[in-house]
Amino acid sequence: MFTKTDVTVAVTSTKPLTEQLHDLWRTENRDLEGLIADQVRADEIENILVDRNIKGKELENSGDINGAIELYELNVTDRFDGSHPYERLRIIYSNRGMFADAIRACEAYINYGQHDPQLKDKYRRDIEKYKAKL
């Protein structure tokens, strides 16, 4: 079993982690010490996001689907910009007949995921398919 502290660190803001990361990249007029500190924090954020996906997949493979969902949902909340947590949630929720949650995962990817027009179109089609099952 995992604990949230396995894949998180103290959050100093209520902003999603990806927004915090983007804020770090946009910061100007930093001295070398500030630049290094920002890079360390950016690395921490990126590691948290990626580690959640890796640990989520491990949990799925060990049969702890609810634990995996919790980690993937954290990445959705933090607006992870890759497709992994959205895709896994879409599959898990649709397999469980939880179509409203599958729709929510698809919509979150469309709004916050990487720019992949083909995948976004697929998710739009999936949304329509899931709506018909509600």
Mean pLDDT of 123-131: 98
The CA distance from 120 to 33, in Å, is 40
Question: Above 60 in pLDDT, residue 129?
Answer: yes
More reliable by pLDDT, 81 or 27: 81
Structural domains in the chain, CATH included, are: 14-133 (1.25.40)
Q: What is the pLDDT of residue 32?
A: 83
Question: Above 50 in pLDDT, residue 1?
Answer: no
pTM for this model (two decimals): 0.85
- The answer to whether the CB of 76 falls within 8 A of the CB of 86 is yes
CB atoms within 10 A of CB 102: 25
Q: What is the pLDDT of residue 6?
A: 46
pLDDT tens-place string over residues 6-16: 454 444 568 89
